[in-house]
Structure 1
Amino acid sequence: MQWNLNLIFKASVCCLTALCLTLGSTALIADEKGDKKGDEKKEAAKKEEPKKEAPKKEAPKKEEPKKEAAKPAPKKEEPKKEEPKKPAVTVKTLVTNLENPSGLAIQEGTGHVFVASRYGVYRYDAKGKTVDLEIAGYPTDVYGKGPKYNVGPLGVAFMSKDQLVVGDGSRPDGEELVRIYKVGDKPVAKWVKEDTAVQTLGPIKAGDKTAKGEGNFYGVAVGGGDIFITCNGDDTKGWVAKSVIKDGKAGPLELTIATKEATNVDAPVAITFSPDGKELVIGQMGEMNVANDALLTFYDPKTGKLKKSLKTGLSDIAGLAYSPKTKKLYATDFSWVDTTKGGLFELKIDGDKVTAEKIVSLDKPAAIAFDKEGNLYLTAFGTQGKDPEKSPGSLAIIKAGL
């Protein structure tokens, strides 16, 4: 079932004119040539006295007909085994008319999906098939080169079952915030304002570490007792900020990993943890107007040290997630330069090589997240049509199987 959010909130939210977000095994080979022993036996030559015998007339020898070597029987060729065809991936749209939906997070226990879009944060209940506005009242900022998009809150992740971390994108760099909200198991009766957070982190203003101040907090990942947030303020640094969780509360937001200095590629965006929690995995989007420059990078979350940086052949990695069932890594490519090439990809890593295998084409995809059953949820900005009251921004699902 698809939901048009204009009808739900048009009367109650005067500022929301259109609810949309255009978001070998080592082979041991026996060496036989050194094991051959000279078995040749030399016999002592025995000398005998020559005897004279009358010469015998030998009968002419009959030549034996030569036997032709038996021709080997023709071998039957084994039929070639065909690779099993992968079933076609079906993308089912759950919610439409979201303006530029970006981050998403899944609540433990309820399985509710929280989605950040231009006007606020929504809750989608997969079982009840309902969608509700939870947090609103954000201002609006503009993001992008070439095509530019109106954005509000960006990244979201759960710090605990009832604590939602929201990264801001609605203000100028140096003024944006990271806020933590208390959310229950059920939708709120009426949406709350963005300033009702139980905790506010930031802003990160201009200073010695960042020339312009930090903002556009797109990616949020929680693990190992820390919150990590990707920043897009000072492009010469490409900072990732960190907050240490202590006694259930988030500590100050500190700049901790300068990804541009480590990789020579800017714009850290997508972020997640490896399945074992030992590596912080970050997608470097790179320049929006340059194709195929996106990197997949791995850091030690404790020290911030870069462990590996790999070229992907993708243009703009906007989402990263590991399947809880298969442990495979998936990414979305927004592909600013040529959005017809955007989509969902499986990233196959072999040593220092990454192969990006396209799973399905998507129109400006953003964040992805798996639930515990292995269903993949994703957001997509889509392409705006002529009607300003409608938006193609959507929340969709790919059923378990990846």
Structure 2
Amino acid sequence: MQWNLQQILKLSAYCLTAVCLTLGSSHLIADEKGDKKGDDKKAAEKKEEPKKEAPKKEEPKKEEKKEAPKKEEPKKEEPKKEEPKKEEPEKPAVTVKTLVTNLESPSGIAIQEGTGHVFVASRYGVYRYDPKGKTVDLEIDAYPTDVYGKGPKYNIGPLGLTFMSKDMLVVGDGSRPDGEELVRIYKVGDKPLAKWVKEDTAAQTLGPIKAGDKSAKGEGNFYGVAFGDGAIFVTCNGDDTKGWVAKSVVKDGKAGPLEPSIETKTATNVDAPAPITFTLDGKELVVGQMGEVNVAGDSLLTFYDPKTGKLTKSLKTGLSDIAGLAYSPKTKKLYATDFSWVDAAKGGLFELKIEGDKVTAEQIVTLDKPAAIAFDKEGNLYLSTFGTQGKDPEKSPGSLSVIKAGL
């Protein structure tokens, strides 16, 4: 087929148009795709993952320079200047002044409130001494006599004394056999009697404590008497396996029955309760356990609850035979006498210094067989001594003496 020039030109123009359309369409597609990619890219750019901030690296702290501790120069201790020892002033010599002599076996002492009169018991009875008038009078008499002691034996009558009130004197007996002895209470005035009275004229009589379940032999030798906590307390030397302290409760001025109350031998395993008193506050009963008269250094200082009778303290003293006990109202110190049966040369008056469970007995003065002691309100100490019996029985060495205030 032959194409003329005009047909060829038309056909060329047609083909050119088709090619252009085809290329334009491809471009549009490409642009459309390109736009989508652009949008995707933009979207991708928008969806940014949140960035995790890397932890800030803390700059290492600059350590402050610590100032080196100041070295304290070692202090040179100055040598301690020893203070010159203060020499304790020598204690003035204790002077014992004898007031009454020729008292046979004098024992108990009691001082009357108000008058200051000193009552002392001896073999024959109870005497009254007036410190102001310097007179001595027999107050109570006509006691029987008993014998007491091992080795040297002594005739004895009334023993322990104490005041229940200003005008009521309590007297412990020692003049009868065990199981028959009594505690008598006498009414006494401010002045000596014109004539002494018999011992059976007491206002009240307590006892006897006869043999029985509590006391195999009955009780006697009522050596120590004390009044306090609403009762009378009496040391007994009857049944040595018990070592009784008897008690009488006082109500409305009247004393009740005298009954065994505290078994001191059972509590302490030491014989013979002898002197008895109260602590200054009145809360404890103080008893001197004399011990065996032929054994040295066995005496005890004991403390009891007066209500229950319970032993609260038992202390060794190193003394042989405690016979007297008393507290000084001025210095509050406790004093004791040591009769010292084993060695009379070691007898005397002692201050008992108590520290915890230890007692130190410091001798104040040597005495010949001392017995009871008692302080008056001024702090004067009255004491009785048996002394050593001479050949003449009519001249008794027994005496009542005083140590002026200062102990």
Report TM bin, short chain.
0.7 to 0.9
Q: For 2:330, give the aligned amino acid.
A: K
Indicate how the Cα distance of structure 1 residues 337 and 75 shifts in structure 2: closer, same or farther if over 3 A, else same.
closer
Q: Counterpart of 2:392?
A: 387
TM-score normalised by the chain length of structure 1: 0.82
Q: Counterpart of 2:12?
A: none
Q: Counterpart of 1:185?
A: 190
Q: SS of the residue aligned with 2:106?
A: coil
Q: Mean Cα displacement is larger for which, 91-100 or 80-89?
A: 80-89
Deviation, structure 1 residue 77: 4.8
Alignment partners' CA distance in 1, 2:80 and 2:212: 77
Alignment partners' CA distance in 1, 2:387 and 2:264: 29
Q: Which of these residues, 315, 318, 321, is aligned with residue 313 of structure 1?
A: 318
* Structure 2 unaligned residues grouped into runs of 5+: 1-63, 69-75
Aligned length: 337
1:377 corresponds to 2:387? no
Question: Deviation digits for residues 185-209 of structure 1, max 9, x if unmatched?
Answer: 0001111101000100000000000
1:173 corresponds to 2:178? yes
Deviation, structure 1 residue 145: 0.7
* RMSD across aligned positions (CA): 1.7
Q: Counterpart of 1:277?
A: 282
Once the two structures are aligned, what percentage of the paired residues are identical?
Answer: 86
Q: Counterpart of 1:156?
A: 161
Q: Which of these residues, 74, 88, 95, is aligned with residue 83 of structure 1?
A: 88
Q: SS of the residue aligned with 2:169?
A: strand
Indicate how the Cα distance of structure 1 residues 188 and 72 shifts in structure 2: closer, same or farther if over 3 A, else same.
closer
Indicate how the Cα distance of structure 1 residues 348 and 41 shifts in structure 2: closer, same or farther if over 3 A, else same.
same
Larger radius of gyration: 2
Deviation, structure 1 residue 85: 1.5
Alignment partners' CA distance in 2, 1:40 and 1:103: 88
Alignment partners' CA distance in 2, 1:74 and 1:256: 63
* Structure 1 unaligned residues grouped into runs of 5+: 1-38, 44-70
Deviation, structure 1 residue 79: 2.3
Deviation, structure 1 residue 86: 1.1
1:205 corresponds to 2:213? no
Q: SS of the residue aligned with 1:142?
A: strand
Q: Counterpart of 2:101?
A: 96
Q: SS of the residue aligned with 2:155?
A: strand
Matches within 5 A, 1:321-332: 321-332=326-337
TM-score normalised by the chain length of structure 2: 0.81
Alignment partners' CA distance in 2, 1:172 and 1:101: 19
Alignment partners' CA distance in 2, 1:42 and 1:149: 91
Deviation, structure 1 residue 84: 2.0
Indicate how the Cα distance of structure 1 residues 75 and 153 shifts in structure 2: closer, same or farther if over 3 A, else same.
closer
Question: Deviation digits for residues 131-169 of structure 1, max 9, x if unmatched?
Answer: 000101011000011110000000010011111000000
Alignment partners' CA distance in 1, 2:393 and 2:401: 22
Q: Counterpart of 2:403?
A: 398
Alignment partners' CA distance in 1, 2:385 and 2:133: 22
Alignment partners' CA distance in 2, 1:40 and 1:235: 87
Q: Which of these residues, 298, 306, 309, is aligned with residue 293 of structure 1?
A: 298
